[in-house]
């Protein structure tokens, strides 16, 4: 018997237990400080050196690079290690799925990664830690060491399109999976949110684990409102037991 292919779409809610605040929740950053949104908006970032200086200071203080995976991330990696075919599609940029032990090739990062930088001119890439070290050493707006172009976080900023290759892979996975689990996502930001509906339309069992209601709850086979740190490990161990 073929084992089910499990696709897990993870949003900000899976990482709040790791100390990374969510952006769109009731206490999210964009609600508290609308000016902060400019720091991650491509047009403002490229056009204003002061915005870039503030962005680098924000990254320097960012807790993402210091965060550790929590029980939910570890449970996903354990499911994969158990032999169950698992793939992760994440809206997060924190890299915590990989740190928890998920092979990088099995994680699709829709919004890129905060752990790297990319040159906007020559597209050279490097580790965020090296760029932050340059800021700590006194550079306000570190430029690309290859070509002198503007460096940015290797994340998708507001005003930028998602990588069509990554999005295409996520779509193919969504259509092929047997079980689709949306965890810690408001399912309000397209095109990622639409994956839940596509999974259901293609016959997948749709499971939603989220504190707040989502627009796709009516399509779900099961909706779980419990805290993710305990609810997701329990759900995944139940899936394993069903297949044992």
State the CATH number of the domain containing residue 150.
3.30.1600.10
Do 173 and 148 fall into the same domain? no
Domain end marker among 155, 171, 186: 155
Same domain, residue pair 9 and 106 = yes
Least confident of 20-29, 84-93, 180-189, 197-206: 20-29
Domain that holds residue 177: 1-20+69-111+162-244
Q: Are residues 229 and 172 in the same domain?
A: yes
What CATH number did the domain enclosing 182 receive? 3.40.50.1220
**90 and 26 fall within a common domain:** no
- Count of domains in the chain? 2
Which of 55-64, 153-162, 192-201 shows the lowest per-residue confidence on average (mean pLDDT)? 55-64
Pair 106, 86: CB distance under 8 Å: yes
Give yes or no: residues 50 and 124 share one domain.
Answer: yes
Q: Provide Rg for the chain, Cα atoms.
A: 19
- Name the residues annotated as catalytic: 111
Q: Is residue 124 located within the same domain as residue 201? A: no
**DSSP 8-state code for residue 180:** E
pLDDT of residue 35: 73
User: Do 150 and 240 share a domain, yes or no?
Assistant: no
pLDDT confidence tier of residue 27, bands split at 50, 70 and 90: low
- Residues 55, 146, single domain; the answer is yes
What count of other Cβ atoms lies within 10 Å of the Cβ of residue 137? Answer: 8
Instruction: Give the Å distances, CA to CA, from 221 to 75, 196, 214, 218.
Output: 21, 12, 14, 8
Least confident piece of the model among 52-61, 118-127, 145-154: 52-61
Confidence (pLDDT) at 1: 43
Question: Are 49 and 73 members of one domain?
Answer: no
pLDDT digits (tens, 9 = 90+) for 182-241: 999 999 988 899 999 999 999 999 999 999 999 999 999 999 999 999 999 999 999 999
Query: Can you tell me which residue has the tokens 């320097």?
Result: 60
If asked whether residues 78 and 174 sit together in one domain, one would say yes
**Contact in structure between 203 and 176 (CB atoms under 8 Å):** no
Same domain, 46 and 134: yes
- pLDDT at residue 20 in the model: 85
Are 243 and 86 in contact by the 8 Å Cβ rule? The answer is: no
Q: What is the pTM of this model?
A: 0.91
């Amino acid at each position: 018997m073929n084992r089910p292919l499990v696709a897990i779409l993870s949003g900000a809610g899976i990482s709040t237990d790791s100390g990374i605040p969510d952006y769109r929740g009731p206490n999210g950053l964009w609600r508290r400080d609308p000016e902060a949104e400019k720091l991650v908006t491509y047009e403002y970032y490229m056009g204003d050196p002061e915005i870039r200086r503030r962005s680098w200071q924000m990254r320097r203080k960012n807790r993402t690079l210091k965060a550790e995976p929590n029980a939910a991330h570890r449970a996903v990696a354990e499911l994969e290690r158990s032999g169950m075919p698992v793939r992760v599609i994440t809206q997060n940029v924190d890299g915590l799925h990989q740190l928890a032990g998920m092979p990088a090739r099995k994680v699709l990062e829709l919004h890129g990664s905060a752990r790297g930088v990319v040159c906007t001119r020559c597209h050279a890439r490097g580790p965020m830690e090296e760029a932050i070290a340059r800021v700590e050493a006194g550079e306000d707006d570190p430029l690309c060491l290859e070509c002198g172009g503007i460096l940015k976080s290797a994340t998708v900023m507001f005003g930028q399109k998602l990588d069509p290759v990554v999005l295409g892979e996520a779509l193919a996975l969504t259509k092929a999976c047997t079980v689709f689990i949306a965890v810690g996502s408001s399912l309000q930001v397209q095109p990622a949110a639409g994956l839940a509906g596509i999974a259901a339309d293609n016959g997948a069992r749709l499971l939603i684990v989220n504190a707040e209601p989502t627009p796709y709850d009516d399509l779900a086979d099961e909706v779980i409102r419990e805290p993710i740190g305990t609810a997701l490990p329990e759900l995944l161990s139940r899936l394993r037991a069903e297949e044992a």
